[in-house]
């Protein structure tokens, strides 16, 4: 990519920023907006309902006809939740720490290991590479319920049952992450890598400082998905010690308390959703931020 090319791309962006985008009819824009608003209302339902229910006092949770918004919003449910959690044998902070460690370690390990593999699969033609990739894609489709038993047996041979590794190690090699990264890396121009090679860069350098920055939307998406998955791990099949259990597992014990704890159960849903939502908003705004100024393809 030459300097003039970049300059002209920036120029064009500046121009199109001020004017309407070409090829867009006003009628079409209105139609799209209308459709987005209507569908968005339906899609937002679980979030709105979970938050509003968590703010309802108990009597409003069972009102007929049910109301969308609480009439007397209260934070009682959250206060009750802290009381219940405060009485548990293992402190709340311990569950939180377990989940944070699993989420952070699992996400970054997965990101690094899967991206490295995706990089060579996308950008180098080496014997076995294509076959390996096809196997990964196909493995994505095999049902998880039946592999759980053989997996458990493997893990017990490796002595990682009842440790966080039983969640983190499989998460490192999740096929979906590799597939996602490879698809995005495929679009990068090969000249980018070749010019770096001419400058004497080694493969890891090419991977780390040239390829990865250019697929930022891909790994931000991967982080979102991975955090969301790991944060919600219950891991009830592979972790038994109370002190090693995850936050979601502990909180679900409260949810299991039945009708009397409906309010608290709603508060649990909201509390559990906070971290994935924050990660999500952060990564989405980053994706939109960086890509507005890229003019990479040559």
Minimum CB distance to other proteins, residue 87 (Å): 25
In the numeric block, the tokens 């294509």 are attached to: 130
CA–CA dist 97, 192 (Å, integer)? 41
- Tell me whether residue 83 or residue 158 sits nearer to other proteins (CB atom): 158
Q: Is 294 in the site for other proteins (CB under 8 A)?
A: yes
Select the residue interacting with other proteins from 84, 179, 249, 263 (CB under 8 A).
179
* From candidates 175, 197, 205, 208, binder to other proteins by CB under 8 A: 175
For residue 225, state whether it binds other proteins (rule: CB under 8 A): yes
Among 47, 79, 97, 104, indicate the residue that binds other proteins (CB under 8 A): 47
Which residue in 47, 106, 78 sits closest to 228, CA to CA?
Answer: 106
Looking at 85-93, 175-183, 192-200, 238-246, which segment touches other proteins (CB under 8 A)? 175-183
- Comparing CB distances to other proteins, the nearer of 86 and 128 is 128
Q: Which two tokens stand for residue 278?
A: 């924050």
Q: Which of 231, 215, 229, 148 is nearest to 182 (CA)?
A: 215
Cα–Cα separations (whole angstroms), residue 214 to 66, 108, 115, 220, 279: 49, 18, 12, 12, 20
Measured torsion, CA atoms of residues 53, 55, 61, 65, in degrees rounded to the nearest 10:
-80
Regarding 200 and contact with other proteins (CB under 8 A), the answer is no
Residues numbered 63-122 forming contacts with other proteins, rule: CB under 8 A: 64-66, 113-114, 116-117, 119-121
């Amino acid at each position: 990519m030459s300097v003039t090319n970049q300059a002209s791309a920036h120029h064009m962006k500046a121009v199109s920023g001020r004017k309407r985008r070409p090829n867009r009819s006003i009628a079409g824009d209105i139609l799209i907006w209308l459709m987005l608003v209507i569908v968005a209302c339906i899609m937002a339902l679980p979030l709105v309902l979970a938050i509003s229910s968590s703010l309802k006092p108990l009597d409003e949770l069972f009102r007929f006809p049910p109301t969308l918004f609480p009439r007397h919003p209260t934070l009682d449910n959250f206060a009750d939740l802290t009381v219940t959690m405060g009485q548990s044998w293992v402190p709340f902070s311990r569950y939180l720490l377990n989940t944070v460690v699993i989420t952070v370690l699992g996400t970054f390990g997965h990101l690094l290991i899967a991206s490295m593999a995706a990089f060579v699969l996308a950008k180098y033609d080496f014997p076995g590479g294509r076959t390996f990739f096809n196997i990964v894609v196909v493995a994505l489709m095999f049902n998880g319920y039946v592999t759980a038993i053989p997996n458990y047996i493997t893990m017990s041979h490796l002595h990682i049952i009842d440790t966080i590794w039983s969640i983190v190690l499989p998460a490192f090699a999740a096929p979906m992450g590799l597939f996602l990264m490879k698809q995005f890396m495929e679009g990068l121009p090969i000249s980018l890598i070749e010019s770096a090679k001419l400058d004497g860069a080694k493969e890891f350098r090419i991977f780390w400082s040239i390829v990865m920055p250019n697929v930022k939307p891909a790994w931000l998406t991967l982080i979102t998905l991975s955090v969301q998955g790991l944060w919600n791990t219950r891991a009830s099949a592979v972790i038994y010690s109370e002190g090693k259990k995850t936050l979601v597992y502990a909180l679900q014990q409260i949810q299991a308390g039945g009708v009397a704890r409906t309010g608290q159960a709603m508060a649990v849903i909201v509390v559990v959703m906070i971290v994935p939502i924050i990660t999500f908003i952060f990564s989405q705004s980053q994706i939109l931020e960086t890509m507005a100024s890229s003019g990479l393809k040559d």
